[in-house]
């Protein structure tokens, strides 16, 4: 009877170990195929009335106001990033036509990528540009929020 009980415990322990190993392998595989992208937008008085719609591959992932961040996870590879401002009060400093859509194609091949969203004024309509930065600069900007 003790042998049967011992065998049952051994089988149960082996099953738990095997399950844990399978989960760990699956998680490792998933991590290597995905990347986390972090976006930050600081306050800019030139665009005080604007919220920026942020899209990845045509899918809106966030509406960023001032001093806001967005974090999103996608598969590694080539992606299209886009910003546009919704309806807003057009101020003369933002250009005669308000703001225009900004599009950028990026290759995401690291585990993490960091971006800041910065407004660049222009006579015929400025754009909220997406600029890749390093983690140190992202943390520096995040500390200002």
Tell me the pLDDT tens digit for each residue of 93-126. 444 456 788 999 999 999 999 999 999 887 777 8
The SS3 assignment for 114 reads strand
CB 86 within 8 A of CB 102: no
Predicted TM-score of the model (pTM): 0.72
Domain 34-144: CATH architecture, name and number where available: Sandwich (2.60)
Residue stretches of the chain with pLDDT short of 70: 1-31, 86-98
Rounded to whole angstroms, how far apart are CA atoms 114 and 117?
10
């Amino acid at each position: 009877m003790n042998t049967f009980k011992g065998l049952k415990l051994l089988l149960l322990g082996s099953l738990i170990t095997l399950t844990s190993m399978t989960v760990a392998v699956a998680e490792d595989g998933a991590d290597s195929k995905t990347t986390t992208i972090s976006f930050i937008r600081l306050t800019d008085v030139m665009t005080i009335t604007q919220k920026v719609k942020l899209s990845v591959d045509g899918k809106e992932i966030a509406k960023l106001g001032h001093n806001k961040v967005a974090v999103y996870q996608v598969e590694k590879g080539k992606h299209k990033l886009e910003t546009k401002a919704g309806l807003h009060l057009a101020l003369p400093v933002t250009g005669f036509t308000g703001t225009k859509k900004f599009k950028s194609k990026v290759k995401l091949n690291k585990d993490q990528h960091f971006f800041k969203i910065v407004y660049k004024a222009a006579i015929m309509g400025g754009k909220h540009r997406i600029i890749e930065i390093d983690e140190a600069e992202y943390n520096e900007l995040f500390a200002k929020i």
